[in-house]
Amino acid sequence: MELRKLAGSFQSGKSLKETKHEVDRLIVSIRNKLGPDKKVQISFWTALLHRLEFCNTPKADPRWLVIIRHANYRIKSRLYTAIHYRRRFK
């Protein structure tokens, strides 16, 4: 998973700002690949959040957790936006 690679690169010494921008770009590119169908987006973001739960352990390196938590925040934002859009514009 690309997010884990980015978290590992930050853990290895890459700058926080640059790594967060790369995470954001990755999430935007995934969203563009998913297309406009909100049902597909909701199922994908939910599955991705479930997979990231296994990376978010209390024994993990704090630098690793910074990036994983940032990705969680961004993905949850995309998920809730898709849910809201789907409810509002049926």
What integer pLDDT is reported at residue 59 of this predicted model? 84
* Distance of alpha carbon 38 from alpha carbon 85, whole angstroms: 8
Tell me which residue has tokens 């954001």. 24
Against a cut of 0.85, is the pTM above it? Answer: yes
Is pLDDT at 55 greater than 90 in this prediction?
no
User: Taking a C-beta distance cutoff of 8 angstroms, is the pair 52, 3 a contact?
Assistant: yes
- 60: tokens are 């993990």
The C-alpha atoms of residue 38 and residue 50 are separated, in whole angstroms, by 18
How many domains does the chain fold into?
Answer: 1
**Does position 76 have pLDDT exceeding 80, yes or no?**
yes
**How high is the mean pLDDT of the chain?**
91
Domain that holds residue 17: 2-88
SS3 35: coil
For the segment 1-41, what is each residue's pLDDT rounded down to a tens digit?
A: 788 899 999 989 999 999 999 999 999 999 999 999 999 99
DSSP code for 76: H
